[in-house]
Amino acid sequence: MSFESSGPTEPLFRSRRWRGRLASVEAAAVAGIVCALAWSIGIRGLLASPSVDSTPAEITRFYADPQRGYNALVLLQIILIGTVAFLWFIGVVRGRLGEVEPKLFGTVFLGGAILFAAVMLVGVAALAAPAVLIEASGRAPDPASVSMMRALAVGLIAIFAPRVSTLVVFSTAALGRATGALPVWLVWLSYVVGVAEFVTLTVAEPTVYVFPAWIALVSVVLLIRRPGRSVEPATNAEP
């Protein structure tokens, strides 16, 4: 009977190797960039629909095109991919921190991320609902219902989502500062972004893209700093 160790061609070896790659900082950075791009593209496309102050004639004319339903479904798929990438980003970062993660900040980090993802999905679903109705039933939506769904989406995406995102921003800054995963300038910039997102009283469209832009920035920094510094502090070395 042979007790030779498995070589690099064994399936188990390949599985462990790929698990390591998917849990790497590079994977987190790529997931964050994919998330930022997908959210920005998807939300921008859905926000191109009539606003809450559009007239019934403008709404009817916009949704007279049967292609609107298919386009909305495509944009929802893009946003869903971005949301999955966002959760992967969160999971990889938490996994890399491991036992050195401060429990309070780690819990807020994870909870805020899940809550934000839920608010985002419900908000974009409300925004796309009138167009999805066309694809699902072949009927054009009622203009009054379109305005109500748009108002609901604005409340979720432009009011709730930015404030929930501050949980992720603040906790990421705290985790980055405590573990040395992020440079000092990005930690303080994150605090500024979090405060701005929380206290803003506007529902202007640009505020929707602040959080995706911040995720992209953090991801790029993680990707660039990876060769020089790991998010896993060297505190676990045995004496």
Domain ranges of the chain: 25-225
Residue 139: is its pLDDT beyond 80?
yes
The pLDDT, as a whole number, for residue 100 is 62
Band (203; pLDDT cuts 50, 70, 90):
low
The pLDDT, as a whole number, for residue 22 is 47
Nearest alpha-carbon partner for 150 in 118, 119, 123, 121: 123
Report the C-alpha gap between 225 and 217 in whole angstroms. 12
Residue 142: is its pLDDT beyond 90?
no
Residue 125: is its pLDDT beyond 90?
yes
* Phi and psi at residue 218, to the nearest 5°: -60, -40
Q: How many helices (H) and strands (E) does the chain have?
A: 9, 0
Report the C-alpha gap between 216 and 224 in whole angstroms. 12
